[in-house]
Amino acid sequence: MPGILTPGPIEVLPLDAIRREFDVNVFGALSVINSFLPALRKARGRIVQLSTWTASVPLPFNGPSGASKAAMEVFAAVYRAELKSFGVDVVVAAAGNTRTGGPAKTAAALERVAEGMTPEQRELYGQSFGSFTAALNAMQNSGLDSATAARRMIELAEQVPAPGRAPVGADAGEMLRVVREKSDAEQDALRLQLVGLS
């Protein structure tokens, strides 16, 4: 399932905006999955939970998105264990940057956050948030095309045996490798570099 994006410094974001992101990305997904579980058990079906590499390598100014997707990855792991005896597979599809029409929405959301900052918040975060904005827009505009991403999702829905987690896009594969192989300090340096803050 796709989600929404609530970018910005955590200190600046209204808690209601973060709650809304969790309502859509977590509670909305749980509601849909639970509604389909009787049919999935009967069919011995498969859940493919769309996530993002930022659930594993969270970026500054993108906290609610990464945190909500990380929460869904935990639920996916629990579903995988709870549903195994019913023959229901659960796959986490960790997407990379994808051109799906989202970049325009993301750019608008980023602009709203920047415009909504107080002068004090702008003094604290304006320059670094501007760097993040430029980096995120560039990443999304150079991402995987939506048709290729969709084909990968279909592959994951049909792959036997089902993987527990799989990347969608080369950048996602690279980020999942970073989590396996790099230290926390190296990951911290990378996350700053990715958004132009190193």
**For residue 99, is pLDDT > 90?**
no
Q: Which residues contact 51 (CB under 8 A, 6 or more apart)?
A: 69, 72, 73, 76, 92, 93, 94, 95
Q: Which domains does the chain have, with CATH numbers?
A: 15-99+144-193 (3.40.50.720)
Q: 98 forms bridges with which residues in the sheet?
A: 144
pLDDT digits (tens, 9 = 90+) for 106-138: 777 778 888 889 999 999 999 999 899 888 888
The pLDDT value recorded for residue 1 is 44
